[in-house]
Amino acid sequence: METYVKAYKSYSKLLTGHFVGRNLELEDLDDRFIHHRGEGTKKLGFASYLARMKEDEEVMETWKVAQERHIQALLQCEEVRFKTIKLYQTLQV
């Protein structure tokens, strides 16, 4: 389980890194990007911004499902831990 938790931490780090990178990328939005038609400069415009927000929504949904499953795995581990501790205590008597 410890190996699994370490792997999950790495996965979470990858996802948080995605959002850190996204914030850096969005610092390059075109000035007044909402008002411009198309993307006439090398900076991000409205269409690019919207596409990235949709992509981020998918990443967040994937992360949410992963987090829910992670919590389920931890709850199962907790059950096993309690049973093991209880069994160990009865063997000590």
Helix (H) or strand (E) holding 74: helix 46-92
Asked whether the predicted pLDDT for residue 81 surpasses 70, the reply is: yes
Q: In whole angstroms, give the CA distance from residue 29 to residue 49.
A: 8
Q: For position 48, what pLDDT does the model report?
A: 92
pLDDT at position 57 over 70: yes
Banded pLDDT at 93 (limits 50, 70, 90): low
Residue 80 has pLDDT above 90, yes or no: yes
Domain coordinates in residue numbering, the chain: 2-92
- DSSP annotation of 36 reads S
Find, among 57, 62, 56, 59, the residue nearest to 25 by Cα. 56
Mean pLDDT of the chain: 92
Residue 63: per-residue pLDDT: 96
- Does the pTM surpass 0.85? The reply is no
